[in-house]
Amino acid sequence: MQFPTRWPAPAKLNLFLHINGRREDGYHELQTLFQFIDTCDYLEFKLTNEPPLVLHSELNEVVAPSDNLILKAAKLLKKHTSYSGGAEISLEKNLPMGGGIGGGSSNAATTLVALNALWKTGLSIDELAELGVQLGADVPVFARGFAAFAEGVGEKLTPVTLPENYYLVLTPNVHVSTAKVFSDPDLPRNTPKLSLATLMQNTWQNDCQTLVAKLHPQVAKALDWLVEYAPSRMTGTGACVFGEFEDKQQALKVLSQLPADLSGFVAQGLNQSPLIELIAE
């Protein structure tokens, strides 16, 4: 099979995010609904016979290579499968960091899926998703590649089919720390667990939104502006916020009215990740 050299790492939105409690190990029980969008980072892989793993990225100036999830994913797969060779990996970074749209987790999942194919290490998607949990709670949903309802710490996934609406995503110029949000004493942690059927009928919310908007005025400003045009929420632990539209032209029209101090993009919701579509081909 001829695989491409350029692999997509799509963004995701949390259409709702409920925090149900904190576990003894410090992790949080949650319920959330993931949908992919068609805006992506891209990764290129060049296989090498030598064992080192090398990452080429402008992020090397921001994130130490040893902390980068791409290299962590490659090293994890290499160790797990006892693969002897290596790879040079190049990252085309389009998704904002600390935006709550899953850039780092998606990069890690794409690395696992791509190198498993290119190295011919033969792991199933289930095995890749299980490996991904070691890298972050959001990695399995990207590895599996289907819109999903998630429970537990985000690892218990139920595939769902959702309307593939268009979204205007605003990207406030601020990096929100997921760790700081989840450790903040003011984070609500008592939303009752509900069935998926009930949740699909309810008004959707993000339990992190009030806290993050209070801590980061840029997020509050983006929400205040966007909610005038469409039902709008924050995704993940922020900073990105999104408004939902039934057609692309409507979303683009609102984007054209964006104040000069706000930035954003229009994307379509996807129930199947472009990464999984590529593998299926």
pLDDT in tens, 241-251: 999 998 999 99
In the chain, CATH 3.30.230.10 sits at 6-161
Residue 62 has pLDDT above 60, yes or no: no
Active-site amino acid positions: 12, 138
Fold assignment, 166-270: Alpha-Beta Plaits (3.30.70)
Q: pLDDT (tens digit, 9 = 90+) per residue, 252-264?
A: 999 999 999 999 9
The pLDDT value recorded for residue 246 is 87
Any residues with CB less than 8 A from the CB of 178 and at least 6 apart, and which? 100, 236, 237
Section 115-132 average pLDDT: 96
In the chain, CATH 3.30.70.890 sits at 166-270
Query: Residue 150 carries which side chain, given as an amino acid letter?
Result: A
The pLDDT value recorded for residue 26 is 81
pTM greater than the 0.85 cutoff: yes
Mean model confidence pLDDT for the chain: 93
Fold assignment, 6-161: Ribosomal Protein S5; domain 2 (3.30.230)
